[in-house]
Amino acid sequence: METRVHAQTIGRRSGPATDPESDRLPERAQGAIDVAVIGAGLIGLSIAWRLAKAGLAVAAIERAKAGDGASLAATGMLAAAAEHEPGGEALLPLCLASQRLWHPFRDELEAESGLTIDYRREGTFVIALGRDEVERLRFRHDLQRRDGLAVEWLSGPAIRAREPGLRPTVTAGLFCADDHQVDPARVMAALRRAFRAAGGRLVEETTVTALLREGGRVAGVETSAGTVRAGTVVLASGAWAGEGSLVPDLALPVRPLKGQSVALQMTPRSGSLSHVVWTEQVHMAPKGDGSLIVGATVEETGFDPHLTAGGLYALLEGARRALPGVEEMRVAGIWSGFRPTSDDDAPILGEALPGLVLAVGHHRNGYLLAPVTAEAVSTLILRGETLPVAAPFGLARFAPHHSLRSETP
């Protein structure tokens, strides 16, 4: 039975207006398309856009509206350094490779869509409030330096000189100059427009019910609107990839990890931030429209989309500990979404069955990893080659006596 669960919102931010209409599936008489992408979130549309640009006939098929699962609920941080934690050493090369790809990815996306994505390069602060947090932050800084990341240790006064709205209790922090951010609503609007401009079909509110298998390979998809034959199928359905109804023989280790976020409106009275700021409780990201996104809770509640008083309290109190002006800001929106999380918090990329390619499990790094994921999957489909940086992230690492660490030199 199909699970009809959507993220819940109260006044979620929106991006530029785009063509609201959805495309139709190809008529059976037109023959097979080259690629069917299951899922039209950030990852699915990034891949679909790249393949359509290369001249392939591509359809991106979305069970709801494009981006409704995690992509429009995200904050849009490109935080390879700030996100780096113990156990993340194997993932770091992929994160850094994708961070380097973001500039050309942005340039192409803005040029081909005619939209801006509010790419901001001010950098990111990771701050400590109090002695105990300083010690934990020093441990993180040692890890970052050991792994070659360009991160600067700053005193509390030095941080407050750049962000005067922060409390005097900010005692130290890290400055991650290369950790930039984008506006998710604008990115999704631009991807939608660029993909369709490249000749792609965006088919929304259409459920993929089964994979079409012929001669030992995946040859298309069965949907609520009919059958689509395709040379290759890409599974990019986010948190829904692990439900098992499409590929029960693979048992994909992907689950939903719920996150609630809130948008506040900064005003002259409340003060503002100009950088992304992380604390131990929350992250705060200022956007070009004057809003401040505060996120995000981490909840193992399955596909429960409901907004909760406890979640909102945790976000606002976490922000208020560092930024007192939060008390004067208007609440502009609250929403939840589902991070697609694998068992080791790293993405699953590559061919799983003949004709079926996976691009799932990006956890909280979807925006950071979108460019390298699109490049890895398009390279595999167009040239039959695996990018070396993506090679450790195949499904085989979850086999018994195997791990991501064992694949990493």
Q: Which two tokens mark 160?
A: 């407050």
Residue 3 has what pLDDT? 41
Rounded Cα–Cα distance for residues 389 and 363 (Å): 18
Overall average pLDDT of the 156-162 stretch: 97
Q: Decide if pLDDT at 140 tops 50.
A: yes
One-character DSSP codes across 221-262: EEETTEEEEEEEEEE--GGGGGG-SS-TTT---EEEEEEEEE
pLDDT in tens, 232-245: 999 999 999 998 88
Q: How confident is the model at residue 23 (pLDDT cuts 50, 70, 90)?
A: confident
Q: How confident is the model at residue 2 (pLDDT cuts 50, 70, 90)?
A: very low
Residue 20 has what pLDDT? 60
Which residue blocks in 271-365 are alpha helix, DSSP H? 309-322
% of the chain residues with pLDDT over 70: 91
Overall average pLDDT of the 158-186 stretch: 98
The candidate with the shortest Cα–Cα distance to 179, out of 85, 102, 114, is: 102
Q: Which of 92-106, 254-268, 326-340, 393-407 has the lowest mean pLDDT?
A: 393-407
Residue 300 has what pLDDT? 97
3 state SS for 48-101: HHHHHHCCCCEEEECCCCCCCCCCCCCCCEECCCCCCCCCCCCCHHHHHHHHHH
Residue 399 has what pLDDT? 86
**Where are the domains positioned within the chain?**
30-121+179-253+343-409, 122-178+256-342
Overall average pLDDT of the 369-378 stretch: 99
Overall average pLDDT of the 213-220 stretch: 96
Q: Decide if pLDDT at 277 tops 90.
A: yes
- Domain 122-178+256-342 in the same topology as domain 30-121+179-253+343-409: no
pLDDT in tens, 375-384: 999 999 999 9
pLDDT in tens, 320-344: 999 999 999 999 999 999 999 999 9
Overall average pLDDT of the 145-157 stretch: 97
Residue 1 has what pLDDT? 34
CATH class label, 30-121+179-253+343-409: alpha beta
Residue 255 has what pLDDT? 97
Overall average pLDDT of the 370-393 stretch: 98
Q: How confident is the model at residue 29 (pLDDT cuts 50, 70, 90)?
A: very low
Q: Positive or negative, the Cα torsion across 83, 87, 89, 94? A: negative
Q: How confident is the model at residue 223 (pLDDT cuts 50, 70, 90)?
A: very high
Rounded Cα–Cα distance for residues 172 and 128 (Å): 5
Residue 275 has what pLDDT? 98
Rounded Cα–Cα distance for residues 399 and 52 (Å): 33
Residue 282 has what pLDDT? 98
Q: Decide if pLDDT at 406 tops 60.
A: no
* Single-letter code of the amino acid located at 263: A
Residues in the chain, how many?
409
Overall average pLDDT of the 33-37 stretch: 98
Overall average pLDDT of the 59-84 stretch: 96
**Mean pLDDT across the chain:** 93
CA distances from 191 to 49, 180, 235 (A): 7, 19, 18
Overall average pLDDT of the 181-194 stretch: 98
Residue 19 has what pLDDT? 63
Residue 4 has what pLDDT? 42
The CATH H-level (homologous superfamily) assignment of domain 122-178+256-342 is D-Amino Acid Oxidase, subunit A, domain 2 (3.30.9.10)
Rounded Cα–Cα distance for residues 193 and 191 (Å): 5
Residue 134 is classified by DSSP as H
Q: Decide if pLDDT at 17 tops 80.
A: no
Q: Which of 18-27, 68-77, 238-247 has the lowest mean pLDDT?
A: 18-27
Residue 21 has what pLDDT? 67
